[in-house]
Chains A and B, each alone.
Chain A
Amino acid sequence: AQSVTQLGSHVSVSEGALVLLRCNYSSSVPPYLFWYVQYPNQGLQLLLKYTSAATLVKGINGFEAEFKKSETSFHLTKPSAHMSDAAEYFCAVRRNSGNTPLVFGKGTRLSVIA
């Protein structure tokens, strides 16, 4: 079975500071990994995904994530936070074969302080 752990339910950073949102996964087979963002009163939007090509994945809005198999991690980073980055971020994992559901972490709320 797959599972995702997001460390920190709430992260607060200053505008212009580095954003680091942590995600560790558990999977018995090579996984596909996703980061979604949810703005208030909106649905989830895909930021980026890892599908076994490059281990460093670049997404929208300046975000990127690196797949580290040895650490079973897929942390999300952005060099410089913007006020508009304030949202809820979800990491998700899925098996790379078969019809299995997308398994989400509990989410991390990012606050950006001016």
Chain B
Amino acid sequence: GAGVSQSPSNKVTEKGKDVELRCDPISGHTALYWYRQRLGQGLEFLIYFQGNSAPDKSGLPSDRFSAERTGESVSTLTIQRTQQEDSAVYLCASSQREMSQETQYFGPGTRLLVL
């Protein structure tokens, strides 16, 4: 596709339920990033992938959060036993390579609301 896509665009769930968020990066981009954007806050780094490996998981807020990437393409961010503080916009980005000066291209995000 032309850009990064994410699904669903909106997700409302009940506290305690698990959710899966999907990211389709730009074709050929080897690096993929997940960020969280809480209301009125900047973007908070969660995790990044180089190929299918995740060298840096330092941003995951708790062990309820996990992510995987397959085929050096699609990535899934899973939040188990959701809490109200997980409510946020989850943004995915990809870049052609994992280098500091590379531009990251962002998807439109998934808005998660935990009731």
- A residues within 8 Å of B by Cβ? 4, 9, 32, 34, 36, 41-46, 49, 51, 90, 92, 94-107
- 22 cross-chain CB contacts under 8 A: A4-B42, A32-B101, A34-B103, A42-B108, A43-B4, A43-B93, A43-B106, A43-B108, A44-B43, A44-B106, A46-B105, A49-B103, A90-B42, A92-B43, A99-B48, A99-B50, A100-B100, A101-B33, A101-B45, A101-B58, A102-B104, A104-B42
- The list of the 3 closest CB pairs from A to B, nearest first, reads A43-B106, A101-B45, A104-B42
**A46 with B103, Cβ < 8 A, contacts A106-B40, A106-B41 known:** yes
Known contacts A32-B100, A44-B91, A104-B43; is-contact A99 B56 (Cβ 8 Å):
yes
Q: How many A-B residue pairs have CB under 8 A?
A: 64
- Which A residues are CB-close (under 8 A) to B35? 104
B101–A96 CB distance below 8 A: yes
Judged by a CB distance under 8 angstroms, whether B55 is at the interface is yes
Q: Using Cβ atoms and an 8 Å threshold, which residues of chain A touch B48?
A: 99, 101
Q: Does B25 contact A (CB under 8 A)?
A: no
Neighbouring B residues of A97 by C-beta, 8 Å: 100
User: Taking beta carbons and an 8 Å cutoff, which residues of B are in contact with A?
Assistant: 3-4, 33, 35, 40-45, 48, 50, 55-56, 58-59, 91, 93, 98, 100-101, 103-109
> Are A43 and B109 in contact, CB atoms less than 8 angstroms apart?
yes
- Is A105's CB under 8 angstroms from B56's CB? no
B4 to A99, Cβ gap below 8 A? no
- Which residues in B have their C-beta under 8 angstroms from that of A96? 100-101
For B59, list chain A residues within 8 Å (CB): 101
Q: Are B101 and A49 in contact (CB-based, < 8 A)?
A: yes
For the complex, give the distance between the alpha carbons of A101 and B54 in Å.
Answer: 12
Residues A94 and B100 in contact in the complex (CB < 8 Å), given A99-B56, A101-B48, A105-B42: yes
